[in-house]
Structure 1
Amino acid sequence: MKKILPILLVAISAALWGIIAIFVRGLDAFGFTSMEIVTIRVVTAAVLLGITGLVKYPAQMKIKWKDTWLFVGTGVCSIVLFNWCYFSSIQQMNLSLAVILLYTAPAFVTVLSWLFLKEKLNAAKLISVAGTILGCVLVAGSNLNETTSISAAGLLTGLGAGFGYALYTIFGKFALNKYSPFTVTLYTFIVASIALVPVTGLWNKGSILFSGEVMFYGLGLGLFPTVVAYLLYTKGLEKIDSCKASIIATVEPVVATLLGVFLYKEGFAFNQFIGSFFILLSVLLVNLPKNPLVKTQNEKASIT
């Protein structure tokens, strides 16, 4: 059970990220821009986490100034960078291709984990990364005929989104060597809020920010696909490889697709079904026990 729990935590966090459209579409209907919605998300998360910390985990709210760079990494280099790049790429190219480029993140995590975290590369990881990227291509339902006007800037920002998305896992691993999952998540969103609020000038929409429906969607966005999701992901990240966590997290587009089908009555093509299958198969592959036959033989030898 101890081995399965971290996998379940990461998978649940990915499922929660997959329902983000419910809250984003609700706020979009009130005229908020994409980056304003991101700011609402991180500020709400920072406030909720701050209140929780003061009431329940005051000891976990202390950090050393010399470690601030870790949270600049998770908050600015990851949260702010990947959101800015992702929304920029959406404006410059086909949405499906932007989604595909975002989910190059497992490939970035695999390489960065090997370089900086000294995690081992093996065939299962590499095949799983390829499978998740292929699965995301199919789930996104990308039509190559619609991507003829791809620009270099669009490709760079799209890849930047995948890179920024990957950086949370890398910086998070370093931060978890010194701090609890709660502390890492709290300061990630505090730093992201400090970076985003002055840029977006969200206070200019104060008249509608505190209306009933906006607060409902804002609190929902800050709580479920943000605070709860990132706490679970960071907790799971404590116990499993970075590469494995990033591959499991690609369950997100599968959940998002199913949400679109059942809640928004969107179509579900055969290629999306195959893509979902590839993603789930990749998640299973990377979580298979290592050399079960050898393990069994070792256990028998120890008994005799």
Structure 2
Amino acid sequence: MTTLTHDAPMPAAATSRLGAGLTFALVSALSFGLSGALARGLLDTGWSPGATVLIRVAIAAAVVLPLGLLSLRGRWALLRRNTGLVVTYGVLAVAGAQFCYFSAVQYMQVGPALLIEYTAPAAVVVWLWLRHGQRPGAVTLLGAGLAAAGLVLVLDVASGADISLPGVAWGLGAMVGAATYFVISADEDNGLPPFALAAGGLVVGSLVLGTLGLVGLMPMTAGTAPASYAVGEVAWWVPVLLLGLVTAGLSYTSGIAAGRRLGSRLASFVALTEVLAAVVFAWLLLDELPRAVQLVGGVLVLAGVVVVKLGESRTVRPEPVVT
């Protein structure tokens, strides 16, 4: 059980845990935010979303798997007990979220596509409220409202901007996967080390995507043409390696570490900074310059994250018991 404190300051250990969690969350958000711009360079040369996400997830799985096995320390029973959880994580949080997001990027700009995916924090709040009775406080709801208003401005709906319905549909699919990612990543009760959960999910995601490709349900098209960005052309393998090592391997492991320290609700709102990172990377790599109203929206998103943090800091999370 958690202890609600409204006046007493947070213990030093809790403060340290919060600081580490915020650092991991920001690393995860920044690295995830790079994925859309990098993938767009490959998609424009003829790569299909399926091939792009498969190679990205497979490279990450190959890198993280040895670390996951080491973190288990021979506790195979722990992995067997959590088979269903790992499969769900791999199917929805890894394969589903990434494939839907890259599919959305085919129909719309990176920033708006990611924005739709990151309605996930609202879904997390509702899930925790309905499933676990964790009713959000007034401060948390205020922060959520600010973030939601900022996201609307980033999407720039009011200006009548052209919005692709297929892109929106794919983005909503990515939202379901992202919400699953935040909820499962924050679950400490399963006992799985972060590296083990990340490795298992990435392996399952690779197998699912590979199977869909083999049976023809997901087109797999790739090539060796150079990828073109605002900074110039680069060999195809450069964005491929960055997608696998940075935007998947680093992102998933640091994201799980953040969720364990912050909880799914706060971690999901801090992860909204990924939207801002994606907009910046899209500007630098794709010349997709955000409008002034989108920049104002970004400021509101950050303000919302800060307010949510203030609301969540009233809840002191107990330190995990080391066995």
What interval of TM-score do these two structures reach, taking the shorter chain for normalisation? 0.7 to 0.9
Uncovered stretches (5+) of structure 1, i.e. residues with no partner? 293-304
CA 95–127 in structure 1, closer or farther in 2 if over 3 Å, else same = same
TM-score computed with the length of structure 2 as normaliser: 0.76
CA 234–213 in structure 1, closer or farther in 2 if over 3 Å, else same = same
**Which deviates more, 212-221 or 89-98?**
89-98
Q: CA deviation at 1:199?
A: 1.2
Q: CA deviation at 1:97?
A: 5.7
Tell me what 1:11 maps to: 26
Aligned with 1:239: secondary structure? helix
Whether the 8 Å contact between 2:198 and 2:256 is mirrored in structure 1 is yes
- CA distance in structure 1 between the partners assigned to 2:18 and 2:164 by the alignment: 46
Which deviations, in whole Å up to 9, do the C-alpha atoms of 1:78-114 show, x marking residues without a partner? Answer: 2222334445556677877644432210100111122
Quick one: which of 108, 111, 116 aligns to 1:101? Answer: 116
Tell me what 1:47 maps to: 62
Whether the 8 Å contact between 2:38 and 2:239 is mirrored in structure 1 is yes
Aligned with 1:236: secondary structure? helix
Which deviations, in whole Å up to 9, do the C-alpha atoms of 1:164-195 show, x marking residues without a partner? Answer: 21011112233663111111100010111110
Tell me what 1:285 maps to: 307
Quick one: which of 26, 35, 40 aligns to 2:50? Answer: 35
- Please state if 1:136 is matched with 2:135: no
Q: Which amino acid aligns with 1:2?
A: R
Tell me what 2:83 maps to: 68
Output aligned runs, 1:142-157, within 5 Å: 142=157, 145-147=160-162, 150=165, 157=170
Quick one: which of 179, 184, 189 aligns to 1:166? Answer: 179
- CA distance in structure 2 between the partners assigned to 1:46 and 1:16 by the alignment: 16
- CA distance in structure 2 between the partners assigned to 1:219 and 1:145 by the alignment: 37
CA 40–291 in structure 1, closer or farther in 2 if over 3 Å, else same = closer
Quick one: which of 126, 138, 150 aligns to 1:111? Answer: 126
Whether the 8 Å contact between 1:96 and 1:142 is mirrored in structure 2 is no
CA 254–60 in structure 1, closer or farther in 2 if over 3 Å, else same = farther
CA 203–90 in structure 1, closer or farther in 2 if over 3 Å, else same = closer
Which deviations, in whole Å up to 9, do the C-alpha atoms of 1:6-62 show, x marking residues without a partner? Answer: 0121122101111123431343244211121111111111111124446x5462784
Whether the 8 Å contact between 1:85 and 1:160 is mirrored in structure 2 is yes
Which deviations, in whole Å up to 9, do the C-alpha atoms of 1:63-92 show, x marking residues without a partner? Answer: 433421111221112222233444555667
Tell me what 1:248 maps to: 270
Quick one: which of 186, 194, 207 aligns to 1:194? Answer: 207
Whether the 8 Å contact between 1:27 and 1:37 is mirrored in structure 2 is yes
- CA distance in structure 1 between the partners assigned to 2:294 and 2:47 by the alignment: 30
Quick one: which of 277, 291, 304 aligns to 1:269? Answer: 291
Tell me what 2:92 maps to: 77
CA 190–16 in structure 1, closer or farther in 2 if over 3 Å, else same = same
**Which deviates more, 174-183 or 159-168?**
174-183
Tell me what 2:12 maps to: none
Tell me what 2:11 maps to: none
Q: CA deviation at 1:161?
A: 2.4
- CA distance in structure 2 between the partners assigned to 1:170 and 1:78 by the alignment: 10
- CA distance in structure 1 between the partners assigned to 2:272 and 2:32 by the alignment: 10
- CA distance in structure 1 between the partners assigned to 2:279 and 2:167 by the alignment: 24
- CA distance in structure 2 between the partners assigned to 1:74 and 1:91 by the alignment: 24
- CA distance in structure 2 between the partners assigned to 1:157 and 1:29 by the alignment: 18
Q: Which amino acid aligns with 1:133?
A: A
Tell me what 2:8 maps to: none
Q: Which amino acid aligns with 1:41?
A: R
Q: How many corresponding residue pairs?
A: 287
Whether the 8 Å contact between 2:68 and 2:197 is mirrored in structure 1 is no
**Which deviates more, 199-208 or 38-47?**
199-208
- CA distance in structure 2 between the partners assigned to 1:18 and 1:173 by the alignment: 20
- CA distance in structure 1 between the partners assigned to 2:274 and 2:312 by the alignment: 26
Tell me what 2:257 maps to: 235
Aligned with 2:82: secondary structure? helix
Q: Which amino acid aligns with 2:260?
A: E
Whether the 8 Å contact between 2:276 and 2:298 is mirrored in structure 1 is yes
